[in-house]
Structure 1
C-alpha cells in the first residue's frame, strides 16, 4: 500500500508540453537579477547533456474499482509479443474513515502508482450501477476519482465490462477462482490471493488485447 499524500494539483486548461529534456523540474528561489543568466545556463546544460532514456514498451494499468479494496495491475508488452506482468496490488482504505478521506487516499495512492510505472494506457472495469444499492454512491465517486487521475496523466481510459474481461479468458460467468488459475499459468505467477488483484490483472490484459470502449 502506498503512503498517502495530499496532492495540490491545478490542471492547466490546455495540454502543456515542456521544453525541458530532463525531468522532473523544480521551482527554486533565486535573486531576480540573476534569473535570466541562471535560466540560460540551465537551458544550455539541458540541451548539451544526453537526454535520459525513458522509453519502454506500452504499459497497461488495469483497475478494479472499489472504495474498500481497489485492485490494480500493470502489464507491459508490444502487441506483437506476449505481455509481461510488471506489478499488481491493492489500494485499501479504512471503513471507519470519512468518505472524503478514503477518496483522497485512493487518489494519492493511484497517482503514486502512475508516477512509478508510467502506464501508457489505462483500463477500468465498467461496473454495474444500481441506485437501490447503498454502495452505489460511493462507487460512483470512486469512478470519478479514477477518471480524474487518468485525465491528469494524459490518458482517456477504456471501460471494460465484467462479461468482456471474463470472456476474454474463460466465459462471461467465470468465477474469480477460475480466472486466477488461468492468469497464474499465463504469467507464471505464484498462487494469487482470490481478491480484486485478480480482476485487475484480467482487466489490464483485456485492455492490452484491444477490448473495451471510451466513455
Structure 2
C-alpha cells in the first residue's frame, strides 16, 4: 500500500546529464495516478574534470533534496554492455546519488533495471519514443520533456507503483 505522504524522486543517472522527476500521491483518493510535481535535468560542464563535475552534481542534488524533500528515491541501475568508458563516470554519478540520499535525507534508494521499469510502463524493450509517448499520455503533458527527464518520470512512477528489483 502506498503511504499518502510519500514523495518520490525518480532519477536517471548520468554525469553529463541527470534526469529527475518528483511525484506525489494523488490528492484525490479515488485516483491511483500520482501527481507529477516537477521534472528536469541537471547538466554538468563538459569542460570540467570528472571530479569537478561530481562536486557540481552533488551540489545540485542537495539543492533538489532541499527544495522538494523526497521521502523515497528510485534510480535506474545503468546497464552498459560493452560501453566500459561510459560505465565508469555513470557509476561514479550513482555513487554521488547514494551519498546524497543517505547523508541529506537518510534514504536508501531503490535501484531499478531499465528493462523492469520499461516493462512496468510499456514493455521491457520499449524504445525512447514509446516511453515518451506513454509518459506524455499518462501524465497528460502538452510538451514532451527531454529523454532524460522522461526516463526519470517513468522511473519515479515505477517506484511509486511499488516496483522493486532488490539491487544494491
Q: TM-score, normalised by structure 2?
A: 0.89
Q: 5+ residue gaps in structure 2?
A: none
SS of 1:66 mapped into structure 2: coil
8 A Cα contact 2:80 2:86, kept in partner: no
| 8 A Cα contact 1:156 1:214, kept in partner | no
State the Cα distance separating 1:130 from its structure 2 match: 4.8
State the Cα distance separating 1:132 from its structure 2 match. Answer: 5.6
Contact 1:157 1:214 in 2 (8 A): no
Instruction: Give the secondary structure class of the aligned counterpart of 1:116.
Output: helix
- Correspondence for 2:24: 76
In the other structure, the counterpart of 2:147 is 195
Alpha-carbon spacing, 1:96–1:115, altered in 2? closer, same or farther (3 Å)? same
Of residues 120, 145, 165, the one that matches 1:168 is 120
Q: CA deviation at 1:57?
A: 2.9
Q: 1:90 — aligned with what?
A: 41
Counterparts of 1:13-52 in structure 2, within 5 Å, are none
The Cα shift of 1:77 comes to: 0.1
Which 5+ residue runs of structure 1 have no aligned equivalent? 1-55
Higher Cα Rg, which structure: 1
3-state SS of paired residue (1:135)? helix
Select the residue among 38, 53, 64 that pairs with 1:113. Answer: 64
1:139 aligns with 2:90: yes
2:100 to 149, 152, 156: 149
Deviation at 1:162, TM superposition (A): 0.3
Report the counterpart of residue 54 of structure 2 in structure 1: 103
Q: Which residue of 1 aligns with 2:162?
A: 210
Query: CA 1:80 to 1:158, structure 2 compared with 1: closer, same or farther past 3 Å?
Result: farther
Residue by residue over 1:180-214, the C-alpha shift from the partner in whole angstroms, topping out at 9 and shown as x without a partner, is 11111111112213420010000000000111235
- C-alpha contact (below 8 Å) 1:130/1:136 kept by paired residues: no
- What number of residue pairs does the alignment pair up? 160
Instruction: With the length of structure 1 as denominator, give the TM-score of the two structures.
Output: 0.70
- Which has more helix, going by share of residues? 2
Question: What displacement does 1:143 show?
Answer: 0.9
Q: Which has the higher contact order (CA 8 A, sep 6+)?
A: 2
The residue number in structure 1 matching 2:13 is 65
Segment of structure 1 superposing worse, 140-149 or 181-190: 181-190
